[in-house]
Every structure is written in C-alpha cells, then in structure tokens.
Amino acid sequence: MTEPSFPRLPSPTFRLALTLLAPLALLTACTPEAGSGPTPLWQDEFTGTTLNPAHWGHQTGNGFMNGSEYVAGWGNNELEYYTDRPANVRVEDGQLVITARKEAFTGPAGGTPQTFGWTSGRIRTAGKFSRTYGKFEIRAKFPTGKGLWPAIWMLPEDPSPYASWAANGEIDIAEGWGSKPTQVAHTLHYGGVWPNNTYSGVTAEVPGGVNDWHTYTLEWRPGEIVWKIDGQVTQTKTAWWSAAKNPPGSDADLNPWPAPFDRPFHLLLNLAVGGNFDGNPDATTPDAAEMRVDYVRVYGLEDEARDPGARPDMTYPWTPRPARPALPDGNLVYNPSFDWADTDPRVTPDATHLDGVPQSAFWTLFTLDSAVTLSSDAAQGRALKADITAPGNVNYAVQVRQDGLNIEQGRRYEVSFDAWASTARAMMVKVGGGQDRGYAAYSGEQTVPLGTARTRHTLTFDMKGTTDAAARLEFNLGGAGANAVWLDDVQVRAVGDAAGPRPPAPDGNLLYNAAFTQNVPGDPGIPGVPGTAYWATWEDGASGLSAAVQDGEIQLKVAHVNPANNWHVQLNQVNVPLTQDRTYTLTFQGRADTPRSVAVVVGENGGSYARYLNATADLTPTAQTFTYTFTAPVTNPSAQFQVLGAVGAPGDAYTLGLRDFRLTPKP
C-alpha cells in the first residue's frame, strides 16, 4: 500500500507490475523464533467495544492535502471514502473489523463535496507508536472479491532524515488482491525520491486462502527483513538503498547503509476498493466485505542492535551493464520480423521465447487477468498474431515486449513497426526501464490507433534518462476488447542527438500556442481542429469527447460522464521544460456550461506520472481566472500540462471553455 504525497508519490502501475512479475514465494521451513520474549513491547488485542484512541488514529476521505494541493484516490485511483463510522471501523468479539460498503456517501474532497460509491476504513499508529526493528505480528483474515485491496503495511514516522517517498522507505507486510484468494504481496519500496524509486518483493501463496485466519509476521533487523506466514518464511531481503540526491547518479549519492530501514516506522491497516492494484469492482464483488484483525503484537528481538555489516553488492540505475549491440542495420530489436530460426547463430542460449510460437526468440509475453493466444501468421508473412479473448482491465494486461535494448542518454530514437487489428482499436507503446528503473517510460506512454489494414507506425523520442542497457520495448494490447492484433517488422534505431529543452515562447510562456491560433508543420495538434498545434486531447472511447476552437477559446464537449475518474477526458501539452527547485506560476481562464470541478496537473509524461502540481478548478458558466504556484521537485525537460475533465452523474453531458494558458517561472 502506498500513501503518497507529492513529490512523494508512488507509481501504482509500476508497483503492481513488480508484484505481479515477482516470483511466487513458497513456504519454507524455519527455525524456532528466538528472541521475541513472552511479552510484547506493544500490542492491541482489540478488547472492549471501541478502537483504542491511544493506539490508533483514523484517516478519512478519498485522498489527502499536499500543501494547497489535493491528491484524490490516495494516489492510486482508489474509489472508497474512508470514514471513522462504526459502519466502517468497529471492534467486536475481540476483533477489529474494517468493512468496505457499496453505498453513496458524500464527503469533502479537496474542499469540494463529492459523492463516492464506496466507503471503508483506514487506521494507523502514526504519532502514537513507531519503532525501529523488531518483530511485528498480525493475525488477520482478508476478504475476497474483485477490486478489494486489504493491506497491512508500514511507513516512516515523520520527520524522516531521508527526504520523502520512497527514499525514506515503505514496508508492505501483506497486501491482498481481492481477485486472488490464495495470494498476498510482500514488498519493499526504496531508492530515490519518486519518480527515481524502485521496489522489490514476491507474491506469496497462502495455504487455505486469505479468507482463513493467518498470522503475518515481519522480523526486522539491521540489514535484514524477513516475512513469514504462519511462522514459515516467505521472503528475506538483505539489500536495498536510499538516495540522498535526486536524481541519484552514483554511489556517492547514497545515504549510509542500511538506510532507509534504520528509522522508526508506524503501522497502517486498511481496506481499499478499486484503483490500480486489483482494478475496480465488478458484478461479482460483494456489496459489503470485511477485513478482520485478531491482534497486533510487536516484540523486541535479541539481535536487533547488531551491526548491519557492510553495504551488500547491488545493482543501481547507474551501474554499468554489458550492452547488446545493434544489428548491422542499426536496429536494436532482435528478431524484428519474428522469423529467426532457433538455430540462427544470433539466438543465444538465454534468449526468451513466446510459448507455442516458432521463431519467436528474444520476445516475451506478460498477461494480467487476461487471455491471449499467440501465433505466427503465415498468411501475413509470419507476422505475430495475438488473438485476445479476455482483454483485462488495463492496457498492460496483455503485453508483448522485448528486453535488452541499449538506450543511451542524450540520443534521439525512432520506433517503427507494422501493426493492424481485426477491428479498430488502440494500443499503448512504450520504451522504458525495468524493475530497477521503476518501470520508467523513456518514450512516454504512446497511444497508437490501429485500423484493419496493415499500417506502418512511427514514433520518436529523446532519451532524457540515464543510459539503460536493459531497456524494454512494450506493445500493450490489453483493455481494448476481444479482438486480434498483428505486429511485424519492429525497429528501434538511434537517429541523432536529442534536442535540448524547448525554449519559452517569445512572450516567455512555457506553454506554446496559448491562444489556439497556430498550425505548425509536423505538429498536427488535435486532429480535425485547426489552430491547435502543440495541444492534444485524449478520452477513454466512451466519453464522446469532441473539441473546437472559437475566438481563442478551446471548447471540450463531453457526451457521457465517467463518474469514477476525471482522467478519462484530457487536454494535454507535452515537452514543457521545468527546472528542479524553480517555482512556477500557472494561470488560465475557464468556464463550464454547468458547474464542474476539473483537475489541473503539471507533471511527468509517462512512467509513474508524478504530479508536481495537482490542483482543481471549480468552473461555472461565468468565465474566471485561475492561478496556481508550484515548485518543480526535479528537472524535467519534457513535463506535461493537463486539464482533466469533470466527473458527475453517469450520462451527464457538459462543455468546458478554456483559454489564455500561461506558465512562467517566478523571478
């Protein structure tokens, strides 16, 4: 579980990808648990009839304030509104009961009342109990049902000497996917300040399923963290790191070992609903679900004051790696047309293959709650065919990719490929990092529309990150219905040096074409809307978004509101240059035909989508000026500005009018 605050924001998508891709932990025999002693140092047996206020505090709402900015959905697109009502958090029969309920509940969200479809509970010991090292033992049972997300986890007690998330760490003792009744995740978050963070962990099998009572234990010593289920070891971690500089670039930028896991942490217990971990509820999800906790006990360990030893050998983002050379024609993609025989001398013994697909060396398939059959289509020149019968809920639910591309800092790259589908749809294409890079998106996450005819698609990007000899090319085919997609002749080539940060407009504005009057060759803007160079719109395919420009105002018309997430409708401009620790002012005029609250965002384009500015604008039929200030937490020459469309009742229609955008650094 993550509790972000900008710039301490996790990437829920990356975090989920890590957990799903980690190996399944098998229960192993363990020695008797020595040193815990007969009496806990701190405990709650949940006796009585109410939660002990000396031990626990409630967190309420659907998000939190970060200074003057409101972060909705707890940074994970969660649906629930946490309350302190007995209906959501109660003590009975010697147990803590946290109940998620499907019900309409209206509460403040960033100062504006909103109605949510779920309620639940979240409690923590922050300010009441925290500890460095020890044995943390929790006996609990988790609910099941698509979209439920029970969690037992730990965060650093403020203030921490290690900046912010995730350089200051997070320990997830046990997190459950509601759709996976026999598994929990054990995860550590650490590294640099987000988005330069990383994490590692396993998916552990729970004998008998999470619906039964189980004891989840964390033993934390200097330089070692051990997870157990019912007394049996499921994971041991002895290597991590914390960066003192953001972004880190060398070993000299590290905090002393064993930071960040050498400071006090507090406990959190909650039951989330929806969001990026297990997706949103569906028709099979119960309307009420309970997470029960029998006790929480914390013991000392006899060796918890031991010397952590020397820093272990680890791989960092800046650690040099052997680079796989490009092919003679400059292509970084091996077996680009899915036609290399396994006997080809270029096919190395460690090359991956697609199950059941001949001549597929160097390619990999990842699936998440989805079903796809891959084949070599002889009728299409041996193009790879993906027959998707269950698409999953997210685009990476079906992912065809190639790892091992050497993407060098300061270079410009061209990605090109043939792709088409059995029915018109879109897919997401990305060149990015793996686990030790936090699954960063060097290319951004590029949405590519597919038609039914074979078409050549070309994308370009500048590599702004540290050179990555193990970068990944991803074709994300999930979340777009049951259909077939073909891929062929895949190319990734260096085509020159990356451009420097784009300069401000002549009037000093970092946002180009603020008056919606420009048409620029090579930058078509919003398709079919003259005067929109440098701007783009995006929608989920169900919102009925259309755009027009009139008298310097861009008008966004939405036919069907999505009541859950405002990011299903977007107005975007990318390649906005920002400098770390520089303060910026954003202004614009906005109106709506009916009162609407929209999100106003400046942040990372792709990757973990860090939000440097995460604010709202309450629009009315009368145009008004909105002004915001924020400080960039990192240098980003290609940041993204966004207005995210309004929510409302299902089926609502509305029109937004926006003009005179201006983003400038403060003197």
Please list the active-site residues. 170, 175
Phi/psi of residue 568, each to 5°?
A: -75, -10
Query: Cβ distance 437 to 191 under 8 Å?
Result: no
Please give the distance of CA 603 from its chain centroid, rounded to a whole number.
14
Element (H, E) at 228: strand 224-229
The CA distance from 512 to 531, in Å, is 11
For residues 525 and 546, the answer to whether their CB atoms sit within 8 Å is no
Bridge partner residues of 13 (DSSP): none
Q: Are 450 and 426 in contact (CB under 8 A)?
A: yes
Angle at CA of residue 31, ends 27 and 33, nearest 5°: 105
Three-class secondary structure of residue 665 per DSSP? strand
User: What 3-state DSSP class applies to 435?
Assistant: helix
Distance between CA atoms of residues 238 and 222, nearest Å: 9
CA–CA dist 166, 241 (Å, integer): 10
Cβ atoms of residues 442 and 407 within 8 Å: yes
Burial of 366 (0-12, 13-18, 19+ CB in 10 A): middle
* Structural tokens at position 98: 């946290």
CA atoms within 13 A on the CB side of 190: 23
Q: Residue 271 corresponds to which tokens in the numbers above?
A: 């039951």
Tokens of 26: 């098998």
End-to-end CA distance of the chain: 39
Which is nearest to 192 in space by CA: 631, 610, 614, 579?
610
State the CB neighbour count (10 A cutoff) for residue 492.
Answer: 24
Cis peptide before 181 (omega within 30 of 0): no
